[in-house]
Every structure is written in structure tokens, then in C-alpha cells.
Amino acid sequence: MQFSTPLVSGRLIRRYMRFLSDVELDTGDIVKAHCPNPGSMMGLKDEGLRVWLEGNDDPRKKLDWGWRLVELPETFVGIDTGAANRVVAQALAAGIDGLTGYDTIRPEVKYREKSRVDFLLSASDRPDCYLEVKSVTLSRQTGLAEFPDSVTARGAKHLGDLAAMVAQGHRAVLLFLVQRSDCTRVTLADDIDPTYAAAFATAMDAGVEVMCIDCTVTSQGISVRNTLPFD
């Protein structure tokens, strides 16, 4: 996934009200940017961090800037949770090991009660595959990516929905997309959300599969890289 317009860099002044941030650009201008991440962004919202913004001229958007990346010493981190599905969509079209052989790939399909699955993969010779994508940015230990970075009741509900699809004879996959390249394995942050961890265990027992993939992240774009093990 390539960014629509060239990113510009600056220093984070603050992130506030979850979806807003103030950034001092390298030019010295101070701008307000949309923060497309509802999580805690632990370790990625400290004052002074170098961040990368994407400009837009869409009159429907209230802000002229969108926050896309944090630059850490060892890696860029993609903080836009919405970008995860776009990255996975392109990867599915090219072929992801373990998710090939399906004739149709449909995004944002309604299922269950008040739920949409990120992707529904279908073929005439196999059960449908319900694919849920979760963007992972948290890393509190070197080499270890963790999900979630805040309590997510919605995420726990999604796990129950996926388990229900398995019970109906379908395939269900939870894909953790690690939007950084400095991690070698993935695990649950069960100390942050023990309810999610319990729902995860129940879903795995029910037959929901888990996949983990990290990303190559640059100021030009984000693409899938390696399959990672889940601890």
C-alpha cells in the first residue's frame, strides 16, 4: 500500500481526545492532525517523537493532515488502524500463504448481530473463510509485539462471532498485522485486557485460527513482510 501523497515529518507535540494531535513540522509550522487510532498508542505518543503526516485536500475532511507513522530508532510504526485492511487487501490479491485458493474476496461483509467481518473469502470447493484483521503496534519488550494496547470489548465480541462461524462449519481466521518490522513474535497483552485474553482462548478452543504477519514500513508505504509465530 503506497501513501496517496508524500508524507512530511515533524515532532509530536501532543496527542489528545484520542483522535487529535498537534505536530510541529520540520518547517516550524504547527498543525493539527487527525489521529486514526482509537487505542492507547502506548510508547508511540510521547512528546518529541518524530512522526510523519499525510496531507489531503479533501473538502469533506475537517483537518488538512492525517498522522500515519511514528519513527523509532529501529523501525517505522504504522499507527493508522484503517490502513491495516488496505495492506491486507493488497496482500490477499497477491496471495498470502494459508489464505489462497479462494475465488472471491469480499471486504466488510455483514454477519452476525451488528458485526462486519473484514474479509469473506469464498470458493465453490471449500467452506467460506471469515477473516478478521487486527492492527498491532504495541511492543513493550524487544522483539515482542502485543495486542491489544487497550481494553477492547469490540475485539472480544469479534472473537465470539468468529467462533460462531466455525460452529456453523465455516473457517475463521484472526490475522494480527504487526505494523512494524522490529518484532519476531506476537503475543497477547493479557495484563491490559484479561477479558480479551479469555475470549481469545475460548475462540482458539472453538477452532478459530490465528495468523501473524509483520510489515515493511517506510515513508512511502506499508506492505506485508514475514509470517511471525504466536506465543
pLDDT, tens digit, 9 for 90 and up, residues 17-75:
999 999 999 999 999 999 999 999 999 999 999 999 999 877 777 899 999 999 999 99
Three cell numbers at 223?
A: 506492505
pLDDT, position 110 = 95
User: What is the C-alpha separation between 123 and 12, in angstroms, rounded?
Assistant: 46
User: What is the C-alpha separation between 30 and 22, in angstroms, rounded?
Assistant: 7
The answer to whether residue 194 scores a pLDDT higher than 80 is yes
User: What is the C-alpha separation between 129 and 159, in angstroms, rounded?
Assistant: 14
Look over the chain and give the mean of its residue pLDDT values, rounded to a whole number.
Answer: 97
Average pLDDT (166-173) is: 98
pLDDT, tens digit, 9 for 90 and up, residues 99-145:
999 999 999 999 988 899 999 999 999 999 999 999 999 999 999 99
Supply the pTM of this predicted model.
0.95
User: What is the C-alpha separation between 174 and 179, in angstroms, rounded?
Assistant: 16
Average pLDDT (208-215) is: 98
User: What is the C-alpha separation between 193 and 134, in angstroms, rounded?
Assistant: 15
